[in-house]
Structure 1
Amino acid sequence: MAIEVIPTGAALGAEVRGLDLSKPLTDAEFEAVQQAWYDHIVLLFRGQKIDDDDLVRFSARFGELDIAPASATDMAGGQALSRPEIWIISNVVENGRPIGALGDKEAEWHTDMSYVAEPPMASVLYSLEIPDRGGDTSFANMYKALEELPADLRAAVEGRICNHDASMTSVGELRAGAEAVVDVRTAPGAKHPVIRTHPATGGKSLYLGRRLNAYLEGYSVEESERLLDRLWAHCAKPEFSWTHKWQVGDLLIWDNRCAIHRRDGFDGSQRRVMHRTQIKGRAPR
């Protein structure tokens, strides 16, 4: 069966058909997938029946994998259920302990692990169990967000550095071992350019990480807050985004270098179990 790439029709995203990810990709198949990924930023593969080994093998075609990140919850019990490269994202509790991270809350717009010096270039998420409603994942195209940024705002952030706070998770919980931030200018985390260049496509995009506790260096706290509020309001415009409604067996891969994403909350009485890998990246430039 020939590979088909079907764009969503939104600002980003495409479905790839004709591949069984339980089998290794040929070099030609991988080249087609990689080019589609560069073109569309987020790729969807539906109806996959894969195990953790398959997930790791597919992800590793794109590069070396990270180990699972620290979360707000003691994950010793849950993480033992998977390989160290796989992060379990779930609201399920077994024997009094969560088997995964992030629970059932809404996750704000963010870039995965931008608070480290060399953030992952990509994330891969595979759905094992999903609730009847909610838990949808939305993505926004940061190439387009930069292209349509008001001129005065672009001038204000061109060449600027943003500190990406490491203390909080995307669902607003204090990360394990972290202390609450009292001054955004001294928040723990990594410093990255607000506008970065994609190392493979050469395209320029906004790179913001997440809103909470962020700080634009060289500005007063008040001015940084004002500019960041404007940036995030701009990036959240519907014309830059696409929302994915999950089905069991869906696999998504997205490019953290040029996209942000968020998750809707859902009914915590329903099970949601996802397995995620992250592909290592380089320091943004």
Structure 2
Amino acid sequence: MKDAKMQAMENVDTLEVIASPKALGADIAGIDLSKPLSAHQLDTIRLAWQEHLVLRFRNQAHVTFEQQIAFSKHFGPLDKRPTVSHGMSKTHDELPPEIAVISNVKIGGVPVGALGDGEAVWHADMTYNEFPPKGACLFSKEVPPSGGDTHFANMYMAYDSLSDELKQRIQHLSCVHDASRNSAGELRLGFADNTDPTQTVGAVHPLVTTQPQTGKKALMLGRRRNAYIKGLALQESEALLDALWAHATQDRFTWTQVWTAGDVMMWDNTCTLHKRDAFDPHSRRLMYRTQIASR
């Protein structure tokens, strides 16, 4: 039986970073996430994540919950999954607390996970919190035959391509991020259905953030619905946000993940947006997510 050091060496010998020709994304090939990771291997993955923002690991169907958690912890402490929402199956309670279920599957008519089968609009995760997550790892257990693709957008590139005039205009502006609805548009428990962005409840973040390691600047847009730029008249805020969102989600800044069972996707939540396509509600989509905390 091979020891952990020998298994890690096998991974190092075959690891390959294959960059996407698009604005972001790379495949990490020749690696088995169920095996121990060497320091060299982790350094390669960290550098690839910093450069490409979204990483894909194919053919990982055999990875266990514990192995997904162990891999994710190499990149920071993990958040615990949210408390099970009203109307959701108690299946979550049987899983490790770091694992959240993203699924349309139902048991006895009750969902086993979040977000269902509808479209999830462009967003960054949980920016309505003071400290949004650093990133996430999403493992696909079951995927529909079509639909349910995930699109990612590069917010470094979106910022860099703004006009100098627009960069100057937004450099000291901050935006309120709405906490009332999730990315599928569902109203969260305990929140009023507010339609006035000037009354939005949620964290306030600068429109432009700086990556501390590289000094690179990125747009931080979070979610469009009910967002409000502090200090501006509502009409001016809406017009500026519409312009920034239209710019940031252009195809030239994006890359699309077409899922296969056994994929593990890892993305940097601080400098990307993502969205999901709708899919046939009669198809099964079952995914497990770990979330890397910002601190």
Instruction: Using structure 2 for the length normalisation, give the TM-score.
Output: 0.92
CA distance in 1, matches of 2:105, 2:245: 31
In structure 2, the partner of 1:142 is: 155
CA distance in 1, matches of 2:144, 2:165: 43
Residue 106 in structure 1 maps to residue 119 in structure 2? yes
In structure 2, the partner of 1:271 is: 284
Specify the code of the residue in structure 1 equivalent to 2:48.
A
What's the secondary structure of 2:22's corresponding residue?
Answer: coil
In structure 1, the partner of 2:65 is: 52
CA contact (8 A) 2:195 2:226 kept: no
- Structure 2 residue aligned with 1:66, among 79, 82, 93? 79
Deviation at 1:76, TM superposition (A): 5.3
In structure 1, the partner of 2:4 is: none
CA contact (8 A) 1:77 1:97 kept: no
Residue 83 in structure 1 maps to residue 86 in structure 2? no
What's the secondary structure of 1:80's corresponding residue?
Answer: helix
Specify the code of the residue in structure 1 equivalent to 2:199.
T
Q: What is the count of residue pairs matched by the alignment?
A: 282
- Structure 1 residue aligned with 2:135, among 122, 146, 164? 122
What is the correspondence of 1:143-182 to structure 2 with a 5 Å cutoff?
143-182=156-195
CA RMSD of the aligned region, Å? Answer: 1.4
What's the secondary structure of 1:11's corresponding residue?
Answer: coil
In structure 1, the partner of 2:204 is: 191
Deviation at 1:72, TM superposition (A): 6.3
In structure 1, the partner of 2:10 is: none
CA distance in 2, matches of 1:24, 1:198: 29
CA distance in 2, matches of 1:260, 1:53: 27
Relative to structure 1, the CA distance from residue 160 to residue 153 in structure 2 (aligned partners, 3 Å threshold; closer, same or farther) is same
CA distance in 1, matches of 2:89, 2:141: 20
What's the secondary structure of 2:167's corresponding residue?
Answer: helix
- Structure 2 residue aligned with 1:4, among 16, 19, 38? 16
- Structure 2 residue aligned with 1:241, among 254, 260, 269? 254
What's the secondary structure of 2:43's corresponding residue?
Answer: helix
- Structure 2 residue aligned with 1:251, among 261, 264, 272? 264
CA distance in 1, matches of 2:264, 2:47: 17
CA contact (8 A) 1:60 1:279 kept: yes
**What stretches of structure 1 move > 6 A for 4+ residues in a row?**
none
Deviation at 1:78, TM superposition (A): 3.3
In structure 2, the partner of 1:35 is: 47
Residues 202-241 of structure 1 show CA distances to partners (whole Å, capped at 9, x for unaligned) of 2110011010110111101111111110010001100000
Relative to structure 1, the CA distance from residue 267 to residue 84 in structure 2 (aligned partners, 3 Å threshold; closer, same or farther) is same
Deviation at 1:71, TM superposition (A): 7.6
Relative to structure 1, the CA distance from residue 270 to residue 255 in structure 2 (aligned partners, 3 Å threshold; closer, same or farther) is same
Deviation at 1:80, TM superposition (A): 1.6
Deviation at 1:73, TM superposition (A): 5.1
In structure 2, the partner of 1:221 is: 234
CA distance in 1, matches of 2:247, 2:83: 30
Structure 2 portions without partners, runs of 5+: 1-12
CA distance in 2, matches of 1:259, 1:185: 25
What's the secondary structure of 1:24's corresponding residue?
Answer: coil
CA distance in 2, matches of 1:194, 1:73: 33
In structure 1, the partner of 2:8 is: none
What's the secondary structure of 1:28's corresponding residue?
Answer: helix
In structure 1, the partner of 2:7 is: none
Specify the code of the residue in structure 1 equivalent to 2:102.
I
CA distance in 2, matches of 1:251, 1:80: 23
Identify which range, 149-158 or 16-25, moves more after superposition.
149-158
What's the secondary structure of 2:47's corresponding residue?
Answer: helix
CA distance in 1, matches of 2:31, 2:211: 27
CA distance in 2, matches of 1:73, 1:102: 13
Residues 128-147 of structure 1 show CA distances to partners (whole Å, capped at 9, x for unaligned) of 00000000000000000000
In structure 1, the partner of 2:5 is: none
Specify the code of the residue in structure 1 equivalent to 2:238.
E
Deviation at 1:184, TM superposition (A): 1.5
In structure 2, the partner of 1:22 is: 34
CA contact (8 A) 2:137 2:267 kept: yes
Residue 201 in structure 1 maps to residue 214 in structure 2? yes
Deviation at 1:70, TM superposition (A): 5.8
Residues 58-84 of structure 1 show CA distances to partners (whole Å, capped at 9, x for unaligned) of 001101001113686543513224221
